[in-house]
Amino acid sequence: MKLLNEKVALITGATRGIGKGMAEKFAEQGANVAFTYASSEEKANALQKELEAHGIKAVAYKSNAGSFSAAEELINAVVADFGTIDVLVNNAGITRDGLMMRMTEGDWDDVMETNLKSVFNTTKAIQRTFLKQRSGSIINLSSVVGVKGNAGQTNYAASKAGIIGFTKSVALELGSRNIRCNAIAPGFIETEMTAELDPATVEGWSNAIPLKRSGTTDDVAHLALFLASDLSSYITGQVINVDGGMLT
């Protein structure tokens, strides 16, 4: 039996990196997958076909993560297309890095809207569905930067720290209705963006990690799979690092 057989999962920002890795893992384990994208319809269509090859239903939705009305429209559309939603993964995020002395108000607002407000938007919009069925798993993507901070990323760190507080509060509010809410805090994970970094820099970072390697999207996806499945039915309000021991 596959871990997510016939469950419906909605993953925001899933056309690349960690989001794509989670979508692939969920489909492999029998979930029907709804996912959002911001701009590239070509990538969205390619991922949809890739997921459907696992014999599940997959649908891509273009949606503005920072808009509450768009989140409501998204949830309504997914429920109409799939019948329900069992798992929500809030993964959509951006970076606008820079030292605070050079950071613009726009850099701050863009990151907070896409990374943090989006989590509020989709979680609030999906509440009615989860409350009605008295079940649901919400998985929010935070970051080790949200736990320890990082120079040059005050906006990103604040958004990811906000997700941690939000996660714990939602777990307390909705736990009595059998709705779970947990956060994943990835460390240095290999993605398309890190592939553009200088190899020497990557090697230096990896050597500073106790497990002596960077993480993969599968490392994060495996945890998301666990939190989405019934194997984690007694786990809520937790922030779990996937960082190779970086914050130990």
Q: Which residues are catalytic?
A: 156
Q: Give the relative orientation of helices 217-228 and 17-28 as an angle to the nearest 10 degrees.
A: 50
Tokens matching residue 155: 């906006």
Handedness of CA 190, 52, 54, 127 (dihedral sign): positive
Q: Of 3, 44, 55, give the one whose Cα is nearest residue 26.
A: 3
> What is the number of other CB atoms lying within 10 angstroms of the CB of residue 183?
29
Q: Are 65 and 114 in contact (CB under 8 A)?
A: yes
